[in-house]
Amino acid sequence: MKTFEYRGATGLDDGLEPGAMFLGGGTNLVDLMKLGVATPDVLVDVNRLGLDAITDLPDGGLRIGAGVRNSDLAADPRVRERYPVLSGALLAGASGQLRNMATTGGNLLQRTRCRYFMDATKPCNKHTPGSGCPAREGDHRNLAILGASEHCVATHPSDMAVALVALDAVVNTSGPAGERSIPVTDLHRLPGDEPDRDTVLDHGELITSVDLPVLGVAAHSFYRKVRDRASYAFAVGSVAAALSVEDGVVRDVRLAWGGVAHKPWRARLAEERLRGAPAGRESWLAAADAELAAARGLRDNTYKIGLMRNLTAWVLEHLS
């Protein structure tokens, strides 16, 4: 690990100079520094900025401070009652020890676990733009089937982010250009020609909180994750869903997928297909098929198309 300067942030206006990075729980960043993938000159610790509270919003929603630990967020009674899909997604991620350290903001900003990105000695367009994407012909079994490009087929690893996308959550930030609010659906980028840019955030822009809106359907929600082993593994595919059925007809639905794209994937085509449709397996599968029409598998990950089709149907049936 290269030498670096460490200092504590003094306020939300403590911007980052070139070569500096914010440090929260460090459960991803420190790993990348050990591997030589992340090489900051300065770490700015944001843990003492008072961003570690979960508060009720006047309209009945929740504001989650960026410094709230994943374990605390998963266990909060308001989250478990109003947004069970979020609690479930958090508990599906990592280990108990890591959840005790990982923060809300850091979870959203974690980098891909593609083996080529995680190895600084390998070519990878994410850490060395223009060097190529060896995953396309190499090890890509767990990588993207939606939204990929010739430059990158990596997947976003966060479980929490998938649930937040399904819940129409909004990220609040503070940076050199001031404050702004960004829907979580718009926070992460597809790779395109710039796979080294994971999000739309500017350098020095700090996530301060995440807002959960009032969403009646969210109380009836669920998260299911498929992985290669029973615990402490990233998703091969996952589904976050909220569903409202009245008189056998789908009145409202929220659906997001994980483990299939460079960002958490909001399945809007599937949602449109489901609203007003009869509740049942035929509708679940038809909706998944509509969303998966754009999927493009590689040599070893085409199986994900069938997996996501069946997983989506299972979760919706579980909720109906």
pLDDT given at position 230: 83
- The pair of structure tokens assigned to 78 is 């308001």
Dump pLDDT digits (tens) for 183-230.
Answer: 999 999 999 999 999 999 999 999 999 999 999 999 999 999 999 988
Computed over every residue of the chain, the mean pLDDT equals 96
Over residues 119-152, the pLDDT tens digits come to 999 999 999 999 999 999 999 999 999 999 999 9
- Residue 13: is its pLDDT beyond 90? no
The dihedrals phi and psi of 287, each to the nearest 5 degrees, come to -65, -45
Range from 63-77, 147-161, 224-238 carrying the lowest mean pLDDT = 224-238
Residue the block writes with tokens 């489901």: 274
Burial of 119 (0-12, 13-18, 19+ CB in 10 A): middle
Alpha carbon distance 20, 80 (integer Å): 36
Q: What is the pLDDT of residue 96?
A: 86
* 107 contacts: CB under 8 Å, gap ≥ 6: 70, 93, 158, 160, 161
Q: Can you tell me the distance from the alpha carbon of 317 to that of 141, in angstroms, rounded to the nearest whole number?
A: 27
User: Would the pLDDT of 232 be above 90?
Assistant: no
The yes-or-no verdict on residue 15 having pLDDT over 80 is: no
The token pair at 122 is 């390998």
CA distance between the termini of the chain:
51
Task: Report the Cα 179 to chain-centroid distance in Å.
Answer: 22
Please choose, from the candidates 202, 190, 118, 207, the residue with its C-alpha nearest in 3D space to the C-alpha of residue 147.
190
The model's pLDDT over 23-58, given as tens digits with 9 standing for 90+, comes to 999 999 999 999 999 999 999 999 999 999 999 999
Instruction: Measure the CA dihedral 270/272/274/277, to 10°.
Output: -150
Q: What is the pTM of this model?
A: 0.96
In the predicted structure, residue 21 carries a pLDDT above the cut 90: yes
- For the chain, domain boundaries: 221-319
For residue 231, the model assigns a pLDDT of 79
Q: Which of 2.50.20.10, 3.40.50.300, 3.30.390.50, 1.10.287.40 would CATH assign to domain 221-319?
A: 3.30.390.50
For 243-298, the pLDDT digits (tens) are 999 999 999 999 999 999 999 999 999 999 999 999 999 999 999 999 999 999 99
DSSP sequence for 15-27: PPPTTEEEESS-T
DSSP annotation of 53 reads -
36-45, pLDDT tens digit by residue?
999 999 999 9
